[in-house]
Amino acid sequence: MGGLRRSHNCQALGPDDMGKEVTLMGWVLRRRDHGGVIFIDLRDRWGLTQVVFNPGVNPAVHAKAHDLRSEWVIAVRGRVEDRPAGMVNAKLATGAIEVLVDELRILNVSKTPPFPLDEEVEVAEGLRLKYRYLDLRRPEMTANLVMRHRACQAMRGYLNGQDFLEIETPMLTRSTPEGARDYLVPSRVNPGRFYALPQSPQLFKQILMVAGMDRYYQIVRCFRDEDLRADRQPEFTQIDLELSFVEEEDLYTVAEGMMKELFRATLGMELTPPFPRMTYSEAMRRFGNDKPDLRFAMELVSLTDLVAHCGFKVFQTVVASGGLVKSINAKGCADFSRKDLDDLTTFVAQFGAKGLAWVKVKEGGEWQSPIAKFFTDEERGNMAAVLDAAPGDLLFFVADTTTVVHQALSELRLELARRLGLLAKDKFSFLWVTDFPLLEYDHEEKRHVAVHHPFTAPREEDIALLDTEPGKALSRAYDLVLNGTEIGGGSIRIHRQDIQDKVFRTLGISPEEAADKFDFLLRALELGAPPHGGMAFGLDRLLMILAGRESIRDVIAFPKTQKATCPLTEAPAPVARKQLTELHLRPDWKE
């Protein structure tokens, strides 16, 4: 660096530094060459400082500055000056000063970048990922990584203060049944055997409780080989907790305290726990969804009883066959066009709804609707009353099985909120969802499967139900929902071997299979396992919400594409035949 040492970063200087001799290093963001004076916006991780080359100060340095181009890496030595009157840039933290350069070192040149770093234009994400190091130089992206760092530090700090131990667990572990598809790693020294990358450290953290660690946490990578979404990556990060001698309330307190620290450290915002709570069944009834977004109302209203004997065959038939008729009231949306309604019908169709009935409420309360004629005045009046319908409102109805009605209407509710701009990014609505069912019936596998995971404790009073009506048993699981996104979930675990056996049996896992797959856990539960419970938070999703982004890829330094590839490294990639042979793998694909 030619003997120069950096004295300040590009965000540090202000009017107090007037007259100081400083050395800055960074990247050329923009060059404004006036023929005489040349201005360079110098950028680093911290910010932006304008540096000035004046032929009257140093003609040789000024001439050299003429050659500078975008993203060249330079060092400048010069004097901090107040900007002339009227030349202060209020948009810039360092906008009151500039550095008058007396010495310029070009530390590295750069080709013209493949996409602009200084503009608002949306660049194709594939290109951003291929040149991720350029993308991450953009201040918005840098800010996301800075926020991620602060978030982790805040949560670590909080948990450390609560006497938790941060303990690492294996990345090479064994595949377990249930749950997502595993990423597998072949064992070279054990032909035909495979490790699995962890979907979560679930069993290890429970075993750490048996080991007496009492309070464990880890900020840990987890792997699930399933298809990707805007909020799902094949590898993602959890803040994983487990505590001994606790009940639900203890977990809520810890999680709320941690969220409070998190929001203070990242957004400078003071949360006011406790967070509201809602049972799973109430959430499903009122919102059709186990992670309702409570930033707005627009609740689902059941018309099932009102229309059971109405003249509209579609509704009547659905009710007679045990289905539901539910409705939502889009307040003030009676001006939606025919196309809007067609679009929304298509929208709900992807969730299985065979139709979307609607009613526009006119002045005086008359119904403009293809289905108005099927109802008596009294029926219309009753429906209007329960829906709180007023002139100008638009009512939507879905009649189908419980599952379809709830999914279609809860998605419609969110779609309407998006269209109506009800999803304020600076509003944060937390909710605990509690009392989940322990099991649900899987029609494909023709057996019950765990809603949460097979180690979740049933409620004490529901244990007997496992023998009679297992679908009715409720669990001691809880989710933390923020703005309609599940950001964390956990449960009080089973700590007795006999209960764990019983749950395995109910899940159709034979004693032999349980012994084969979970022997180590069952054995641990027989050797003094304390009552324990915990939860895990999705760091990426949490940060996506905090940063106001639409995708977790924006808060991950090196994310994968929807096809689970990395455009930067071009992973996954072929390997040498020899590597496969060493792993005892015989490929059947063409090379």
Partner RNA sequence: GGGGUCGUAGCUCAGUUGGUUAGAGUGCCUGCCUGUCACGCAGGAUGUCGCCGGUUCGAGUCCGGUCGGCCCCGCCA
The nearer residue to RNA, 99 or 318, going by C-beta atoms, is 99
- Residues with Cβ < 8 Å from 350, sequence gap 6 or more? none
The nearer residue to RNA, 111 or 586, going by C-beta atoms, is 111
Binding mask 140-179 for RNA (x = CB under 7 A): --------------------------------------xx
The nearer residue to RNA, 270 or 570, going by C-beta atoms, is 570
115 binds RNA (CB under 7 A): yes
Q: What residue type is 492 in one-letter code? A: I
Q: Interface with RNA by CB under 7 A: which range of 14-22, 160-168, 319-327, 560-568? A: 560-568
54 binds RNA (CB under 7 A): yes
Q: What residue type is 2 in one-letter code? A: G
Q: Binders of RNA among 425-454, rule CB under 7 A?
A: 449-454
Q: Interface with RNA by CB under 7 A: which range of 163-171, 221-229, 299-307, 497-505? A: 221-229
Helix spans in 438-552 (H): 465-468, 497-506, 511-525, 539-546
Q: Specify the 3-state DSSP secondary structure of 442.
A: strand
Single residue of 3, 16, 19, 34 touching RNA by CB under 7 A: 34
In DSSP notation, 97-125 reads: EEEEEEEEEEEE--PPPSS-SSS-PPPPH
Tokens of 67: 């050659």
- Give min distance, CB of 546 to RNA, in A: 18
Q: What residue type is 409 in one-letter code? A: L
Neighbours of 479 (CB within 10 A): 21
Q: Interface with RNA by CB under 7 A: which range of 49-57, 264-272, 426-434, 510-518? A: 49-57
- Residues with Cβ < 8 Å from 122, sequence gap 6 or more? none
35 binds RNA (CB under 7 A): yes
- Give min distance, CB of 216 to RNA, in A: 15
Single residue of 52, 265, 334, 383 touching RNA by CB under 7 A: 52
C-alpha–C-alpha distance, residues 10 and 442, integer Å? 58
- Give min distance, CB of 387 to RNA, in A: 26
The nearer residue to RNA, 230 or 385, going by C-beta atoms, is 230
E-assigned strand segments in 65-214? 73-82, 97-108, 165-166, 184-186, 194-196
Q: Binders of RNA among 191-220, rule CB under 7 A?
A: 199-200, 202
- Give min distance, CB of 364 to RNA, in A: 39
CA 393 to chain centre: 33
- Give min distance, CB of 119 to RNA, in A: 5
SS (H, E, C) 462-484: HCCHHHHCHHHCEECEEEEEECC
The nearer residue to RNA, 307 or 324, going by C-beta atoms, is 324
- Give min distance, CB of 550 to RNA, in A: 7
Q: Binders of RNA among 393-412, rule CB under 7 A?
A: 407
316 binds RNA (CB under 7 A): no
232 binds RNA (CB under 7 A): yes
Q: Binders of RNA among 116-145, rule CB under 7 A?
A: 116, 118-119, 121-127, 129
418 binds RNA (CB under 7 A): no
The nearer residue to RNA, 160 or 350, going by C-beta atoms, is 350
Nearest to 392 by CA among 362, 428, 417, 415: 362
DSSP classification of residue 562: T
CA distances 322 to 102, 182, 299, 308, 402, Å, are: 83, 38, 22, 10, 9
Q: Binders of RNA among 512-551, rule CB under 7 A?
A: 550-551
Could you tell me whether strands 165-166 and 215-223 are parallel, antiparallel, or unpaired per DSSP bridges? Answer: parallel
- Give min distance, CB of 372 to RNA, in A: 31
- Give min distance, CB of 408 to RNA, in A: 10
CA dihedral 328, 330, 336, 338 (to 10 degrees): 0
Helix spans in 308-453 (H): 313-320, 338-349, 377-386, 402-420
- Give min distance, CB of 459 to RNA, in A: 17
C-alpha–C-alpha distance, residues 99 and 89, integer Å? 14
The nearer residue to RNA, 144 or 200, going by C-beta atoms, is 200
The nearer residue to RNA, 175 or 302, going by C-beta atoms, is 175
Q: What residue type is 467 in one-letter code? A: D
The nearer residue to RNA, 115 or 558, going by C-beta atoms, is 115
Q: Interface with RNA by CB under 7 A: which range of 81-89, 310-318, 329-337, 377-385? A: 81-89
> Quick one: CA dihedral 408, 414, 415, 416, positive or negative?
positive
The nearer residue to RNA, 146 or 564, going by C-beta atoms, is 564
- Residues with Cβ < 8 Å from 330, sequence gap 6 or more? 298, 336, 393, 394, 395, 396, 416, 420
Could you tell me whether strands 48-53 and 97-108 are parallel, antiparallel, or unpaired per DSSP bridges? Answer: parallel
CB 434 within 8 A of CB 456: no
230 binds RNA (CB under 7 A): yes
CA 528 to chain centre: 37
- Give min distance, CB of 354 to RNA, in A: 14
Q: Specify the 3-state DSSP secondary structure of 586.
A: coil
The nearer residue to RNA, 251 or 359, going by C-beta atoms, is 251
The nearer residue to RNA, 360 or 541, going by C-beta atoms, is 541
Q: Binders of RNA among 249-268, rule CB under 7 A?
A: none
Neighbours of 568 (CB within 10 A): 16
- Give min distance, CB of 347 to RNA, in A: 9
36 binds RNA (CB under 7 A): yes
Binding mask 345-384 for RNA (x = CB under 7 A): -----xx---------------------------------
- Give min distance, CB of 485 to RNA, in A: 11
DSSP classification of residue 530: P
- Give min distance, CB of 511 to RNA, in A: 19
C-alpha–C-alpha distance, residues 383 and 367, integer Å? 11
- Give min distance, CB of 514 to RNA, in A: 14
